Amino acid sequence: MFEQLDFVYTPSTDVAADMERFVSMLGASIEFAIERFGTRVAMVRLAAGPPHVLLSEHLGGERPVLVYRVASLAEAAEELRRRGLEPGPELGIPHGPIHSFTLDGGHRIAIYELTRPERAASLAGRRDF
């Protein structure tokens, strides 16, 4: 069902400061830093391949969300339901539709289907802050 862990979506109370710590202390590179709809989100890369870290002011809670790509969102959501999990409402991210859910014990998982692969290139290098 899961193809690849693409992102670790992490809550942040100060995205700009956290982003700079990732860069100065860990050697991360900044993929983008966006301010839109009253919130800030930044993607930092610690390695050439995924998972990449998304720092987000609008993401509540203290645990990160592990965001996995799936081939078919509808099929993966149905498989989760068969396993007794509720995948939550379908929402959207720039890359495509997504479901996010929490396991017993508090671990947060999301599944998304890459329907807009061109969005990654349109976000690359964008720096609003």
**CATH code for position 46:** 3.10.180.10
Please check whether residue 69 lies inside any domain of the structure: yes
Residue 83 has pLDDT above 90, yes or no: yes
| Distances in whole angstroms, Cα of residue 123 to Cα of each of 32, 73, 95 | 6, 23, 10
Please check whether residue 64 lies inside any domain of the structure: yes
Please check whether residue 88 lies inside any domain of the structure: yes
Residue 29 has pLDDT above 90, yes or no: yes
CA dihedral 8, 59, 2, 118 (to 10 degrees): -80
Q: Spell out the alpha helix ranges (H) of 27-128.
A: 73-82, 118-123
Give residue 41's pLDDT band: very low, low, confident or very high (50, 70, 90): very high
* Lowest-pLDDT choice from 21-25, 27-31, 36-40: 36-40
Please check whether residue 66 lies inside any domain of the structure: yes
Please check whether residue 95 lies inside any domain of the structure: yes
Please check whether residue 129 lies inside any domain of the structure: no
Structural domains in the chain (count): 1
Residue 37 has pLDDT above 90, yes or no: no
Please check whether residue 128 lies inside any domain of the structure: no
Q: Domain containing 105: what range?
A: 2-123
Please check whether residue 17 lies inside any domain of the structure: yes
pLDDT averaged over every residue in the chain: 96
